[in-house]
Structure 1
Amino acid sequence: MNAPLRDRYPLAFQLYPYARSADQDAATPVRHPVVIVGGGPVGLTLALDLARRGTPALVLDDHEGVGQGSRAICFAKRTLEVMHRLGAGAPMVEKGVVWNKGRVFRDRDEVFEFDLLPESGHRNPAFINLPQTQFEKFQVEAVRRAQADGQPMDIRGKNRVDAVTDMGDHLLLDLMTPEGPYQIAADYLVACDGARSPLRDMMGLAFEGRVFEDNFLIADVKMTADFPTERWFWFEPWFKSGDSALLHKQPDDIWRIDFQLGWDIDREKELKPENIRARVDQMLGEGVEYELNWCSIYTFQCRRMEKFRHGRVIFAGDAAHQVSPFGARGANSGVQDADNLGWKLAAVLNGASDTLLDSYDSERVLAADENILNSSRATDFLTPKSDISKTFRNAVLDLAKTHAFARPLINSGRLSVPSVYDGSPLNGADDLQGPDRTRPGAPCPDAPVGNGYLLDHLTAGFTVLSIGADAPDVAGTTSLHIADASPELAARYLGDAPSAIYLIRPDQHVAARWATADVPSIKSAIITAMGGVQ
């Protein structure tokens, strides 16, 4: 039985208060092409993406805005590129704390430092730190601008999905609102309703994987401090507030601190303000003034559904997969789910074969497994479960101070990078001795082009990119010819090749590439990228 319709937690921003819709007064259920359940980062990304492709998107959320608490704070370069395309990136970068560098310590000693974006020629940094509350607020503002421009999308707060019935050629949804129930129909339903997904439970679907025996305390602290805008991580910190610790700066003088607590803890006791303050005091020292802004305890979990597509119901973000927070692979991978799914849903609703949606499952399951592997390895390194594992971990930390070969073995969370869809059925020809980073299946790295950047020139459809080569015009694609490549573009797309032709997918992943290409070869690659069906 469902709980009463109410907010799950207090709101930081009430962005889409309940309002009665015309669907509630319709004689028969109104049919929508795509209904998205969940107004978080993943659901809003998908809605914005679909609307920009001309596909109406309806977002249903069981609360009315953004809940309190920073939650996710680290948003990666690829996420920022997607947000820029969807009209929300610039204010996010302006508000967020930009960072590329990090430092790893053991006790008081610095083991090594790293730079996640040592090369030039990118619009966006490796990461920004921005509370999820702000991230979602900027997304909703982009939704309002899109609606004002006539793009087909809507968000309905206090609309809870209570049942989903498969009617064969569509789905029937039972909704509950403060004014009572009503029904709508949907061609496709996308569940972006979080790790505890009610839709997943409603359908009786499993969510399997590992739960690691450790707990971590998040303390978001408001203070004025002169720490640099870098990611600082301690193994066995000298201040003894936990077995490991993390410090990150957020906007508005908020600092994220994580403490590793161990497995057998009294959660209620640990969350008492006086006990949280005791740990923070040990870290910061006496006399430092601060306020506790938000606190939580979490357990590392690495799990996923067996399949992300179940007929007309598709799962994305934490509803489909879950990883531990270190590495910032949760929200960032969810945004990439939406980026992968949006163009495929739009294409299917415009007449492409429904089988194209199967590639969402195969590509994003691959990405989820990659994230789970990296997250599991990080967790095993952070929390060794045997004396031998701990001896190995500490030997690596000792060696890393003076031996560079040991530093890649240190794992304080492999930070989020976009997945390369190696082996995808959508990948076409690779007839170019080009850089490995732009092989078929890879996301397109940005680079300077004229007075702007390459990604700005990639359209919502397929793009034929030619660099120093003649490429034919192909119906249904956009042609982008670059005669003189910038050094960064040449390094990322040509390598040692004198020229190149690329076919770029609507989600800015490479579909195929050639030294030279004719119309039939490009058309064949497009058919492959559309799931192999003409």
Structure 2
Amino acid sequence: MPRYEHRPFDCRPAPELSGAAPGRYSVVIVGAGPVGLALAIDLALHGVTSVVLDDNNVVSVGSRAICWAKRTLEIFDRLGVGATMAKKGVTWQVGRLYHRDEEIWSFDLLPEPGHRMPAFVNLQQYHVEAMLVERAQQFPELIDLRFKSKVTAVDQLKDGARVTVETPDGGYPMETDWLVACDGARSFVRGALGLEFSGQTFEEKFLICDIEMEDSPFGAGPAERRFWFEPSFHDGQSVLLHKQPDNIYRIDLQLGRDADVEFEKREENVLPRIRRIVGDRPFSIDWMSIYRFTCARLERFVRGRVIFCGDSAHVVSPFGARGGNGGIQDADNLGWKLAAVIKGEAPAGPIESYNDERVHASDENIGHSTRATNFMTPKSPVETMFRDEVLHLARDHAFARKLINSGRLSLPCALAGSSLVTPNPDAPLQPGSAAPDAPIRSADGEGWLLHRLGGEFMVLSVGPAPDLADCGVPHLVVAPGSGFEDPTGLVATRYGTGWTYLVRPDQHVAAAFDRPDAATVRVALSRARGQSAEERVA
């Protein structure tokens, strides 16, 4: 029996079912998973209303996405749930890789100090969704959560979209200026518009299993990620082991492309496999599934006034924790841009830049994911020999460890080359990068730099402050006597003393300056807001 108790959310009849005229809304979001909820919360923080439609009234069944990377946790922190997630989740940063039964390499994902968020937190998707729903309910005037509301038709309009919604109380139409599809890999919206993924489907099958087990296989030490290539206890296939909260452990077992799905998912066949991994410790199965996966994406993520976000736009293999993390980073990229267009603060350019930036990020994730999968599942004797030699060399040689794709985990995509970014190759922190965190001190006490950045455009200066009174956005100075100090020196180390940065609402660096003036910053700001070269003001 599953450990998590699924409690239904309240479902209220839509106003359209009470005789009201069909509504016209600024934003309608299809899907109340992590991506859709994160986007709704981000829009609410910008004062933009949204309606969230979901065909269910409980959080997801099964742990699904569990591994949340530091950059994603920083986004969740800006949205108001990061600390709750970090407290509930299992923090880990050490990964161990084995070939057969010998450990060949261990890595530490966060060897440097001075970050509020850990390298990774393991937390089941159902916990994340519950936290996000609770946070969304704190914006009753801005977020209209409609559960048991299934979208059954989608029509594109010149200035928006129309959807038909079916509920237990009846159906109704609604129109929206912007429709955002966050409805997952089997997206109804994507299918309704006749759009298809392009990419590669892998024939290998994997058994994913959550077990409840009080006696930790890690002993008294901290939780770790363990990955085995060809272990003796699993017929030469690969195995992945993670710890989750509530004494739940995730195990992924490669079954091979010819595995019989019905046979493999029988409990009497699953239990012996698990026992060979965890030994004689008592355990019970909490949830399991068998899957194949695809690395693919839509050609475009923006289709008129319909926008695709998360798995509705792109899918990857689960190895490397790039699916859920990539989806949240989609929402982070889209939220401020959509809000700016709706509020009349920017032209339509930022919406197109969402397509460009996140297609680029998706291609990067798909590339890493495809290489990881091919490394795990070699298709020929030559590929097998290459993998085995890389694993052998990785015991003693650092260069070979970079070739072990299964050990390569989600990192934020850099946006260098984006039309919104002003390049500066001399900057210590390159434009397009996600702004790194660091401790700061103010009159309020010890704090974190990223708590002062994000949500709006900001200028950050480290060290002596240039006169930027007319630059058009708030100016944060970290320097002695400025009100914000650098007690550990990590701000100066990560950003460079004497440098000034324009930081976007999604905490990415839009521009970097060593000798800025207000006019130069305003030009970079206009570019970061999506204005054309002709529209930018000096």
Instruction: Check whether the contact 1:375–1:414 (CA below 8 A) recurs between aligned residues.
Output: no
1:14-55 Cα offsets, whole Å, 9 max, x none, are: 353321122323443211101000000100000000000000
- Pick which of 466-475 and 274-283 moved more: 466-475
Match of 1:135 in 2: 128
Alignment of 1:175-186 (within 5 A): 175-186=165-176
Match of 2:483 in 1: none
Alignment of 1:63-142 (within 5 A): 63-142=56-135
Instruction: Check whether the contact 2:394–2:401 (CA below 8 A) recurs between aligned residues.
Output: yes
CA distance in 1, matches of 2:66, 2:104: 25
Alignment of 1:284-303 (within 5 A): 284-285=278-279, 287-303=280-296
Q: Secondary structure at the match of 2:139?
A: helix
* Alignment of 1:164 onto 2:159: no
CA shift at 1:467, angstroms?
0.9
CA distance in 2, matches of 1:524, 1:230: 47
Match of 2:520 in 1: 521
Instruction: Check whether the contact 2:229–2:236 (CA below 8 A) recurs between aligned residues.
Output: no
Letter in 2 for 1:270: E
Q: Secondary structure at the match of 1:188?
A: strand
* Alignment of 1:145 onto 2:147: no
Alignment of 1:382-397 (within 5 A): 382-397=376-391
Q: Secondary structure at the match of 1:460?
A: coil
Letter in 2 for 1:487: G
- Pick which of 23-32 and 191-200 moved more: 23-32
Which of 486, 491, 494 in structure 2 is aligned with 1:492?
Answer: 494
CA distance in 2, matches of 1:468, 1:429: 22
Match of 2:450 in 1: 455
1:262-302 Cα offsets, whole Å, 9 max, x none, are: 001110110000111011112222x3210001001111310
Letter in 2 for 1:25: S
Unmatched segments (≥5 aa) in structure 1: 1-8
Match of 1:5 in 2: none
Q: Cα 1:198–1:25, aligned 2, differ >3 Å: closer, same or farther?
A: same
* Alignment of 1:468 onto 2:472: no
Match of 1:374 in 2: 368
Match of 1:6 in 2: none
Instruction: Check whether the contact 1:223–1:255 (CA below 8 A) recurs between aligned residues.
Output: yes
CA distance in 2, matches of 1:198, 1:168: 21
1:88-107 Cα offsets, whole Å, 9 max, x none, are: 11111111000111000112
Letter in 2 for 1:442: S
Unmatched segments (≥5 aa) in structure 2: 481-485
CA shift at 1:176, angstroms?
0.8
Match of 2:201 in 1: 211
Match of 2:271 in 1: 277
* Alignment of 1:482 onto 2:483: no
TM-score, length-scaled by structure 2: 0.93
Percentage of identical aligned residues: 49
Q: Secondary structure at the match of 2:474?
A: strand
Instruction: Check whether the contact 1:10–1:67 (CA below 8 A) recurs between aligned residues.
Output: no
Matched positions, count: 516
Match of 1:56 in 2: 49
Letter in 1 for 2:363: D
Instruction: Check whether the contact 1:11–1:65 (CA below 8 A) recurs between aligned residues.
Output: no
CA distance in 2, matches of 1:187, 1:26: 22
Q: Cα 1:403–1:82, aligned 2, differ >3 Å: closer, same or farther?
A: same
CA distance in 2, matches of 1:413, 1:379: 11
User: Pairwise CA RMSD of aligned residues?
Assistant: 1.7
CA shift at 1:67, angstroms?
2.4
* Alignment of 1:412 onto 2:406: yes
Instruction: Check whether the contact 1:466–1:482 (CA below 8 A) recurs between aligned residues.
Output: yes
TM-score, length-scaled by structure 1: 0.94
CA shift at 1:10, angstroms?
13
CA distance in 2, matches of 1:59, 1:368: 24
CA distance in 1, matches of 2:6, 2:80: 20
1:455-500 Cα offsets, whole Å, 9 max, x none, are: 1001421101111132312354111011143421111101xxx401
